[in-house]
Structure 1
């Protein structure tokens, strides 16, 4: 009596969409395989079972199929029984692996299905098996093409994706309030200068998981970047073809927006978390960091020190690095770390200064500068010549409109000339009004931003503080103290020069 392996497989556990979970198919296949074994008088060594595993998609690894191939090679089983050959293989390469084993076997072998037997040890049997697998492969390719076309049409209509829920939503339509709040806070913080690596660390500490996170793990860094760039956040519909996902893995959804014939993005039929402008602003900030090299580099983490590379050596001009004092020393207990000019980075190597006093001085100077901006902008400002000129232009446009009406009334303007002139003046008027509005709002926005930074400074992370400093400061120049000066005296602010932008 031959000892064989039974193989059963189904591709769509939990995703049939008709109230079933797909397990019924596995049960039926198992029963049919055992009936076939009784008919052939074979002993079933093991039932190899792959759930939710496609035999057509190249990137899918079928664990029990691989185990069955190994057992067949080792001689633990001398054949395979299945409901149908397409359960075993839909890619010719998988069948060829089995054929190699059958051709080299020096023992009786079986390869049978409920629809027929295939003697893989003979040329005719291999020919028949190859034909059926090729047909199954063509059927799968046609089905995949039809499904892809249907999904593209649904995307063009703005219908939500039917698969696994996206981060930020309870299902395909309704927002998950907790995750939406995390995304809203992250967007604001990143625009204010926080790095994605910091957001990832904070989410990890909170135990945040995405729908794709493996059990027992927390959300990954690339997943955080992906969910922040997801066009779904503002209601835009994207569609990434399955073959692209299989070939490239996770791709940037921003590049796969669905657009209407007029070039505008298709809007989806679900609740949104950001407005389109808010999402675009976030994506622009993330893209700008990538282009300027300020993103997360391989093997790096968030910058630990406030003034690394912002502080510069007053002797040679090189950006300062930071180091930690030796544990147990007085300097370590008092300051912890220091800034120094590093020879390995091209510096002179002749300057070193305790870190916290320099940082405290810089922070106080920055906050003082911001408070002065807030105070000066709140007081009655002198009229800016640019807004004043724009307001004068508006007055002139109004006078020109009155003149055009008079000329028309006197018959000196034809109707066509009058309409063209009025339209030109109205367009110019609208442009000028928008300019006046922007110029008037600019000081208020600047004052509001400065006041917000002062108010929230205590809650800013190091990278957020660094971003604010970089916006307003060209460099913090640290002058040498002189021999023994750093050890003898107290902190000397006269040796620190802040170069404002």
Structure 2
């Protein structure tokens, strides 16, 4: 009875050819060769193990059927391998050594057959020949990878688009935008600049069933992929080139780290339709960067730790910012309102004021929308101008930067003690970063009349999430003061005990 073997067929990187081929023809030819080999050697074929479009040279590539082949060899399900050539099985010496260990310790007849000849991995000569061939194949792949990398970088410097799978937002070829996906990206960027969380954008896309060409079949788009898409420099036309060794070492990387520049320092612009402007791209990146964990396990702007009026609402007795808390489950208040705002003693407050949350929020929303309606009505139609809030933020940023320059000059002159200088610079840097994000977000919205901004907010208000509403409230309202409820009598919501202070 013949030895039971596993047949193996593989073709790598067909996705990079960009000519529509899927590698099936090459795999089919290899499978035919394996069947002829098995039949001629009177072996018994257990099954064909096939890894299509997977490299045997790149270290990070996982080949599922190759792993199954190794496991079946190790557990004696099969007693050998049959392939077109040894370089179809592996081009990595470390993988060959794994096979050699199995063959060297097996206590049964084993075979390693290829159309170019057999390798007896139980003998020194057989192992030497296999190692020599795999080392040559590895060197050939490394040389080919180097040539391909040089070609890809040359194309990148010329501004040509990436080959292979189309990027999300563009049609096949990566030059013309795909209208639906491009508008999804633009809307996501606008929403993020208006306060929406990236997690909310991700949930929205998943609900719509949006997937990218890189999303595995049957899987929803991942949160990481959404972040990668909306911050990719390709969106504004910038060309990046990530060396293959960096991809293999780090996996998915931020292409903004690898932007290509001309000798004069200007970015290389790709030959494809952009989806947004460079200012919009930078603004989205800056906003998302500012929301990252601040070192205390809390994300800025997250609804997990902040409701719509947290710290915007102020205690009418002591003036401290108010926080939210949940009513005791099962109580009437919990069933009706769920949460309330309160002045907390542990946070330095007096602890004397609290109010059910939803009625306060609804009242503030109504007053805000009425205020915006008046702004839209009173604003004169005419030439679009920069938002007054943007002008103010720019002035504040310029002042902070001037203060930093002055602090450094005083330090160099010996008039600023080191300890005080370090504390002051740290404070100014935090303020500068905060204002930079604010300026970037407002600037990306573009010049507009006061009426157009107010009308847009009113028109889109119902689609805003809590973080987006919070961002608008912070833009127009300085504080919402909640006054103490009188003792006794009817405790129905009283709007006269809520005072709103508008930003000037």
Task: Tell me what 1:150 maps to.
Answer: 151
Do the aligned partners of residues 270 and 460 (structure 1) sit closer, same or farther apart at CA in structure 2, a change above 3 Å counting?
same
1:29-76 C-alpha deviation (Å, 9 max, x unpaired): 222223322333322222222111111111111111111111111222
- State the alpha-carbon separation in 1 of the partners of residues 154 and 167 from structure 2: 20
Q: For 2:291, what is the secondary structure of its paired residue?
A: helix
Task: Tell me what 2:322 maps to.
Answer: 319
- State the alpha-carbon separation in 1 of the partners of residues 237 and 381 from structure 2: 42
Larger Rg over CA atoms: 1
Deviation at 1:18, TM superposition (A): 5.1
- State the alpha-carbon separation in 1 of the partners of residues 487 and 114 from structure 2: 90
Do the aligned partners of residues 128 and 344 (structure 1) sit closer, same or farther apart at CA in structure 2, a change above 3 Å counting?
farther
Task: Tell me what 1:167 maps to.
Answer: 168
- State the alpha-carbon separation in 2 of the partners of residues 203 and 73 from structure 1: 44
Deviation at 1:149, TM superposition (A): 1.1
Task: Tell me what 2:473 maps to.
Answer: 469
1:327-384 C-alpha deviation (Å, 9 max, x unpaired): 572x34543432234577676655431112211332234334445555565399xxxx
**Structure 1 residue ranges without an equivalent (≥5):** 381-441
Do the aligned partners of residues 454 and 15 (structure 1) sit closer, same or farther apart at CA in structure 2, a change above 3 Å counting?
closer
Equivalent runs, 1:287-436 vs 2, <5 Å: 287-290=289-292, 297=299, 305-314=307-316, 317-324=320-327, 326-327=329-330, 329=332, 331-332=333-334, 334-341=336-343, 351-374=353-376, 377-378=379-380
- State the alpha-carbon separation in 2 of the partners of residues 294 and 156 from structure 1: 42
Do the aligned partners of residues 351 and 373 (structure 1) sit closer, same or farther apart at CA in structure 2, a change above 3 Å counting?
same
Choose the corresponding residue for 1:186, options 175, 185, 188: 188
Q: For 1:361, what is the secondary structure of its paired residue?
A: helix
Compute the TM-score of the two structures, normalised by the length of structure 1: 0.78
For the 8 Å contact 1:15–1:21, the answer to whether it is kept is no
| Range that drifts further, 51-60 or 241-250 | 241-250
How many aligned positions are there? 436
| Range that drifts further, 457-466 or 443-452 | 443-452
| Range that drifts further, 358-367 or 444-453 | 444-453
**Structure 2 residue ranges without an equivalent (≥5):** 383-445
Deviation at 1:217, TM superposition (A): 2.7
Task: Tell me what 1:30 maps to.
Answer: 31
- State the alpha-carbon separation in 2 of the partners of residues 321 and 173 from structure 1: 49
1:204-257 C-alpha deviation (Å, 9 max, x unpaired): 221111222222233222211111112222222222222222222222222222
For the 8 Å contact 1:302–1:463, the answer to whether it is kept is no
Task: Tell me what 2:90 maps to.
Answer: 89
Equivalent runs, 1:257-276 vs 2, <5 Å: 257-276=259-278
Task: Tell me what 1:224 maps to.
Answer: 226
For the 8 Å contact 2:239–2:270, the answer to whether it is kept is yes
What's the RMSD between the two structures over aligned residues?
3.1
Deviation at 1:320, TM superposition (A): 0.8
Equivalent runs, 1:80-119 vs 2, <5 Å: 80-119=81-120
- State the alpha-carbon separation in 2 of the partners of residues 56 and 365 from structure 1: 64
Do the aligned partners of residues 451 and 131 (structure 1) sit closer, same or farther apart at CA in structure 2, a change above 3 Å counting?
same
For the 8 Å contact 1:186–1:199, the answer to whether it is kept is yes
| Range that drifts further, 213-222 or 62-71 | 213-222
Q: For 1:44, what is the secondary structure of its paired residue?
A: strand
- State the alpha-carbon separation in 2 of the partners of residues 342 and 126 from structure 1: 74
Do the aligned partners of residues 78 and 326 (structure 1) sit closer, same or farther apart at CA in structure 2, a change above 3 Å counting?
closer
Do the aligned partners of residues 301 and 455 (structure 1) sit closer, same or farther apart at CA in structure 2, a change above 3 Å counting?
closer
Deviation at 1:125, TM superposition (A): 1.5
For the 8 Å contact 1:197–1:302, the answer to whether it is kept is no
- State the alpha-carbon separation in 2 of the partners of residues 3 and 289 from structure 1: 58
Do the aligned partners of residues 52 and 456 (structure 1) sit closer, same or farther apart at CA in structure 2, a change above 3 Å counting?
closer
- State the alpha-carbon separation in 2 of the partners of residues 180 and 19 from structure 1: 24
- State the alpha-carbon separation in 2 of the partners of residues 146 and 460 from structure 1: 50
Deviation at 1:7, TM superposition (A): 1.6
Task: Tell me what 2:282 maps to.
Answer: 280
For the 8 Å contact 2:18–2:163, the answer to whether it is kept is no
- State the alpha-carbon separation in 1 of the partners of residues 381 and 271 from structure 2: 47
For the 8 Å contact 2:119–2:129, the answer to whether it is kept is yes
- State the alpha-carbon separation in 2 of the partners of residues 364 and 4 from structure 1: 75
For the 8 Å contact 1:69–1:98, the answer to whether it is kept is yes
- State the alpha-carbon separation in 2 of the partners of residues 373 and 273 from structure 1: 32
Compute the TM-score of the two structures, normalised by the length of structure 2: 0.77
Task: Tell me what 1:64 maps to.
Answer: 65
1:416-467 C-alpha deviation (Å, 9 max, x unpaired): xxxxxxxxxxxxxxxxxxxxxxxxxx99744543343344434432211100
